[in-house]
Amino acid sequence: MTLPNPLLPGFNPDPSIVRVGEDYYLATSTFEYLPGIPIYHSRDFVTWTQIGNVATRTGQLDVEATPTAGGAWAPTIRHRDGVFHLVITDAFGRGTLHFTAEQAEGPWSDGVVFDGIDGIDPDLVWDDDGTAYLTFSGLGVNPALPTFMHHRGLLQAKVDLAAGRALEEPRSIWSGVGGQFPEAPHLYHIGDWWYLVIAEGGTERGHGVSVARSHSPEGPFETAAGNPLLTARGTGRPIQNTGHGDLVQLADGQWRLVLLGVRPRSMTRAFSALGRETFVTTVEWRDGWPVFEPVQLTPRDGVVTYRDDFVAPELAPAWMAVRRTPETIATVREGSLQLRADGSTLDDLVPVFLGRRQQHQTATLRVRIDVSAGVGGLAVRYDERFHYSIAAGAGRVVARGAIPSFERTAEIASDSAVVELEITSRPPGGDPFDDRTSDVVELAAVIDGERTVLLELDGRYLSSEIAESFTGRVAGVFALEGSVAVDWFDYRGSDE
């Protein structure tokens, strides 16, 4: 394996990929964050750049009132006749949606809701005569229907894309070999066969990739011997939860599978700080079946740094807000990011928070912030229940670690109008029998050139296994009172 793994580090689950000529485009899930559904681009499968997002406007995704872990679930991106297509489920929101765009970076359409489809993880494919098929996992996510939260296996229906409706009652197709939560189906016409690649076993440690094939997109499907053909369950591999894969043929004829996985740490490797990330593995074909290489950990060398001085007229596409678009709470003006408080806190479903994905477990995030007109700071969050933060203003600096039923705080006095705040994630170190966590998180402030660590917190509580969130760590800035101005945001991370 010579490609970097993770391919897209940090909160980037449920990857789907399409090749258009020499270009590769990849989309992932975003759940309650906006803008939603990032689009990444590469020409060499090594360097990936986020070129935009699908959901950039209010109304494209109905996430404003969705519960945590609802929203944008599991896209499939495809290209046909000069048009990009993306299907996705807005869980507990609008339903199963179809977006289109002439350019992958957007703008994307407002999205058409499929009538007659109730499920998740939709896949879109066309047969040789142009008939469109939607194959999906039959977990009901519409609270108004009797199928709500019932799983009916994998389903399929012919669809009218223009009208946004199923042309038939969805029917059952092959649903794997007995693993729980069959999901993430992708259907491909390769040679004489239609291959159905699915996930089963649940998106946790039992996750895996199973395959079947048929001479028709509708089946019946023949099961591959030895399913699941790819899984990390029961192994000591550094990447676990491997599943939810999407096949792509490279321009040189080789094949790859992009999929999700996690990088757990601790003495028992129990805690995945960054959540589900995008990985890649090689694919060979033997006797008409795909053979997947086990997913290897090949992190990128060196230190990754980026700095946003907010001199561009618009925010970079990597910035996200929670359940609302960034422009509703923030303005880029005169080389700073202005945040306006609205009475909410990080404990609320809709905080005044703007963040980016944390991409490394060993990382330092720093901001310089003017709090002369308000109170705000720097935070890393999984959701409204699990977050660590450090805030300045009103004569003090307060560090806070919040998890359900417990809270820890520390504070120091400060009359400084401009302070530097820092959050550092580092390996626990020391005796391996004491390393029962993913990392240690430090909350610090730099005032008049002096760095003070206010709190050291156990990082395991900001992990996918503890928070049970589908997202990952998102680090950024927030406002609690008045308005604050962020001069710069600095990130430094390493997998070494």
Whether 448 sits among the annotated catalytic residues: the reply is: no
Contact 326, 34 (CB under 8 A): yes
From 14, 200, 383, 420, active-site residue: 14
Instruction: Determine which helix (DSSP H) or strand (DSSP E) holds 464, and give its type and residue range.
Output: helix 464-467
DSSP assignment of 424-445, as one string? EEE---S-GGG--SS-EEEEEE
Residues 122 and 133: their CA atoms lie apart, in Å, by 10
Whether 183 sits among the annotated catalytic residues: the reply is: yes
**Cα end-to-end span (Å), the chain:** 18
414 SS3 class: coil
Q: SS3 letters for 307-323?
A: EECCCCCCCCCCCEEEC
Q: Could you give the dihedral angle defined by the CA atoms of residues 58, 62, 64 and 67, in that order, rounded to the nearest 10 degrees? A: -160
Residues 319 and 34: their CA atoms lie apart, in Å, by 9
Q: Is the backbone peptide bond immediately before 122 cis, with ω within 30 degrees of 0?
A: no
Which token pair is 288? Answer: 């008409």
Residues 147 and 164: their CA atoms lie apart, in Å, by 20
Instruction: For residue 260, report the phi and psi dihedrals to the nearest 5 degrees.
Output: -95, 160
Residues 9 and 425: their CA atoms lie apart, in Å, by 15
Which token pair is 214? Answer: 């048929």
What residues have CB less than 8 Å from 290, skipping those under 6 apart?
A: 195, 197, 211, 229, 247, 255, 257, 283, 284
What residues have CB less than 8 Å from 119, skipping those under 6 apart?
A: 89, 96, 136, 137, 138, 139, 140, 141, 152, 155, 170
From 62, 183, 370, 383, active-site residue: 183
In this structure, the strands spanning 336-340 and 330-333 are antiparallel
Contact 254, 19 (CB under 8 A): no
The neighbouring-strand residues paired with 330 are: 339
Residues 165 and 115: their CA atoms lie apart, in Å, by 4
Catalytic residue positions, numbered: 14, 183
